[in-house]
Structure 1
Amino acid sequence: MATAPVFGTIDQRFSDEPVALGPVDFSKIAFVSTSTGADDTLFPAGTAGDASSFKAVRFSSSDVTFTSKLGTGYLADAVAAVNAQIAPGSQAADITVIRCAEGTGGDTAAKLVTTQANIVAGLQVLKAAPSSINATPRLVGCPGYTAQRTGTDANPVVAALPEVLSALLAIAVVDVDDSNRDAAIDARETIGSDRIMPVGVAARVFDTDGATVITRPMAPRILGLISRADFQNGGKPFEPFANRQIHGLVGASRDIAFDLRDGSVEGQQLLAAEVSIVVRGEVDVDGAIADGGFVFIGTDNCATDGDAWQQIHQVRGADAIDVEHQRATRQFLGRKISASDAEAWINSLKFNLRDHKAGNDILGYKVEFKPDENSPEQVRAGRLTVDLGIEEAPVFRVAKRNVRRYRQAVTDLVADIAARINASAIL
């Protein structure tokens, strides 16, 4: 430590101002699944019981060094699905894949059980992956293995997702049984998480030969759509993504009846059960969602009834603010508690919310420091508490028009006629 001069100057710098917060990126995607024919060196196939056999591989979705070695299975299709949704001006998506080994067994059912066990183990690897890949994926998919159920049991992969999603502050889009309405709703009833969005229809796309049409999971395409919506919103995860086109589809696994005005049709019933859908546009048809293309419709997760966090874009927005506030707060931890430092910390949070309000990310906010929540004993122990009220912007889902006859218009018409006739009589 330098000795202070007896005769001279002393310069000191203080950091008691609010800290600036940079944006957080919530558009990174992770897929945990199988992929037939993938390169075993670059993408080793992990198995349950051997955590070291898994490898989280992060790459740009435009990098053919990686995409050309993904084989022809679900992971390869998922990356292609994301690329089909890329927004104009964007070049690629940030993707992490964890390849899992396909199961072994005497029959198809036994193979599925071991495959799903491998994927559940792969999800645990994903949970610990951020430190090794230097990124935190916030959009998660397990394409190909979330729709199957045994009897009335929940799908084991879907059942394993909430723990991992909560740890990553991520959400997942999962495919559920798309055979019919009741099967999709039955599957949704086994899910209870505000971080999971089920989709009840699969995608019809061209196979890698460019000629054969095959059925593939819809979930990766929705995840690509979410990433696209983030990009179009300056990288922020506050924007809803319903009523947007899904690109790269030849068709859907089945046509779902939908009418904007009729709550009794199948599409509306699925939405009421928090099952998202993709429907075809129709030209000059009243009640159609669009004139053409294939449109995604979905806003809700699988939270319990009455949950304030039913709309999944609001969960993502709240997660983003949580991360931003954590990053701001860690810069103050370890300092002594003083009025100036406490004010700087609280203003950092307040100014962050001010910027989100100005950007229409949230409807409003309130920041309070309450003395009765900060007792001398708590402060002596190094604890400060601040109360935040934040209202995330909801999605516009229902437009209601109250239409009545307007008698005043007739009165005005009579007055206009009278004025004209009286004026011509004078002439």
Structure 2
Amino acid sequence: MANLSFHHGTRLSESNETPVLVQVAQTAVVGLLGTAPDADPIKFPLNTPVLLKGTPTDAEGIGDAGTLKDAIDDVFDQVGAYTIVIRVEEGVDLAATMSNLVGDSTARTGVHALLKCEPMLGIKPRLIAAPGFTSGDGLVANPVVAELVGVLDALRAVAFVDGPDTDDATAILYRQLIGSQRVYVVDPKVLVWDTTTDAYVGRPASARFAGVQARVDKALGFWHSLSNRPINGIGGVSRPVTYGTHSNYLNENHVNTVLNTGESFITWGNRGATGDDLWVFLAVRRTADFINEAIEKAYMEFVDKPFSAANLKLMIESGNSAMRTFVAEGAILGGKVWLNDDLNSPIQLASGRIMLSLDFEPPAPMEDIRFIAHRNIEYYLELTKTALKGAA
């Protein structure tokens, strides 16, 4: 009866019955896998995620050898993003190094070390690249990419992988061996100035594309495409691609590329390595990932609470409030959360199970903008009227 104890004045207590806050996780987090045989083994232990917090000095101790130093530079040329580095042991040859990158799912080595990022660092990478180890000949699938696909699904991440850098036909054959909404193929290589040889050298483009997407996420939002954006720090490409029929041939076959606009080099292409037309755009896949994950995490607040009208109402209101926010930001075109009676029988509810229904639609990139041009000879009348007025 303490609540009825004597009191002279006013009282206030806060109710816990308020909608939960649905928050999107950090999206512009790059994950790089590669080699660095001269790295400080204390700062960069093998198969262990190490977080670089957005400045090149964070990479001190990585060493000059291997692939990671260049990959870090590729990302930081685009934006100072959170970048998680995972160093694998360099093998006696390329095949042995590839095996180290494929890794072991039980020991969580190689690409599977990406799954250690969130428990160790509190964030997880969403933009993955392993430049130098994800290319192929178009005849057999790249083993690192093949192993990486399942990890991407678990992380709700995407990977930027490099094509063969030979010709268009081989690049398309390479892409056809993948088949994942979460894999974005880039071909050809980009040219980067090498200060040791004082010349441009070809370098895999994947890490730079990851950096561009991170920059877009930070500046505009995760629902924006990385296509048609400047690529910093390159002087050309190893195989020029011209705008129009040439770039369309690659993009139509889900191979993304680099164009020279005459003013800058830009990313060009929206499509993941999948035949599913509804999920072909990388921006759509990523938007769905982040919203689905945000809803799942937010609703942990309701787990184990008792069934009550108030809790059910809060669950629905929380979801719809989040959808309104996402619509206002431009992340989705529309969305809603509701309770479908047909999916929630008394037996299911009494067993502690409830099924909420959810829909939303990410905005597709306006990839194909068309015009119909018409002649209008009536403009001659305007011409003569203007001339007559001038004569008067």
Assess, with a 3 A threshold, how the Cα gap between structure 1 residues 408 and 377 changes in structure 2: closer, same or farther: farther
Paired residues of 2:136 and 2:163 also in contact (CA < 8 A) = yes
Paired residues of 1:61 and 1:79 also in contact (CA < 8 A) = no
Q: Read off the aligned partner of 2:39 and give its amino acid letter.
A: A
- Answer yes or no: is 1:249 the counterpart of 2:234: yes
Q: Distance in 2 between matches of 1:271 and 1:131?
A: 37
Q: Distance in 1 between matches of 2:234 and 2:65?
A: 17
Match of 2:96, SS state, is helix
Assess, with a 3 A threshold, how the Cα gap between structure 1 residues 203 and 35 changes in structure 2: closer, same or farther: farther
2:151 is matched with which residue: 153, 164, 173? 164
Partner of 1:353: 323
Matched residues, number: 380
Q: Distance in 2 between matches of 1:41 and 1:61?
A: 20
Partner of 1:200: 187
Partner of 1:271: 251
2:371 is matched with which residue: 401, 409, 424? 401
Q: Distance in 2 between matches of 1:295 and 1:131?
A: 36
Q: Distance in 2 between matches of 1:20 and 1:304?
A: 36
Deviations 1:184-220 (A, max 9, x none): 1110010110000000111111224372322211000
Partner of 1:141: 129
Q: Distance in 1 between matches of 2:288 and 2:12?
A: 41
Paired residues of 2:327 and 2:334 also in contact (CA < 8 A) = yes
Partner of 1:285: none
Q: Distance in 2 between matches of 1:326 and 1:137?
A: 18
- Answer yes or no: is 1:300 the counterpart of 2:271: yes
Deviations 1:366-409 (A, max 9, x none): 33321111111111112222222211111011111112334666
Deviations 1:93-124 (A, max 9, x none): 111111111111xxxxxx22211110111111
Q: Distance in 2 between matches of 1:211 and 1:359?
A: 46
Q: Read off the aligned partner of 1:380 and give its amino acid letter.
A: A
Deviations 1:137-192 (A, max 9, x none): 1111111101134x721000010111100111100000010111011111001011
1:13 Cα deviation after fit: 4.6
Q: Distance in 2 between matches of 1:320 and 1:155?
A: 28
Taking every aligned residue pair, what percent have the same amino acid on both sides? 28
Match of 1:223, SS state, is helix
Paired residues of 2:37 and 2:89 also in contact (CA < 8 A) = no
Match of 1:128, SS state, is helix
Match of 1:245, SS state, is coil
Match of 1:224, SS state, is helix
Paired residues of 1:328 and 1:345 also in contact (CA < 8 A) = no
Q: Read off the aligned partner of 1:117 and give its amino acid letter.
A: S
Paired residues of 2:29 and 2:124 also in contact (CA < 8 A) = yes
TM (norm. structure 1) is: 0.83
Q: Distance in 2 between matches of 1:364 and 1:389?
A: 8
Q: Read off the aligned partner of 2:133 and give its amino acid letter.
A: Y
Paired residues of 2:22 and 2:294 also in contact (CA < 8 A) = yes
Paired residues of 1:176 and 1:188 also in contact (CA < 8 A) = yes
What RMSD, in angstroms, separates the aligned Cα atoms of the two structures? 2.4
TM (norm. structure 2) is: 0.90
Give the unaligned 5+ runs of structure 2: 104-109
1:327 Cα deviation after fit: 1.9
Q: Distance in 1 between matches of 2:279 and 2:32?
A: 25
Q: Distance in 2 between matches of 1:414 and 1:220?
A: 56
1:245 Cα deviation after fit: 0.7
Q: Read off the aligned partner of 2:360 and give its amino acid letter.
A: I
Q: Distance in 2 between matches of 1:237 and 1:276?
A: 19
1:359 Cα deviation after fit: 1.1
1:252 Cα deviation after fit: 0.8
1:5 Cα deviation after fit: 6.5
Partner of 2:95: 113
1:39 Cα deviation after fit: 2.2
Higher gyration radius (CA): 1
Match of 1:392, SS state, is coil
Give the unaligned 5+ runs of structure 1: 47-53, 87-91, 105-110, 260-264, 283-291
Match of 2:373, SS state, is coil
Paired residues of 2:30 and 2:128 also in contact (CA < 8 A) = yes
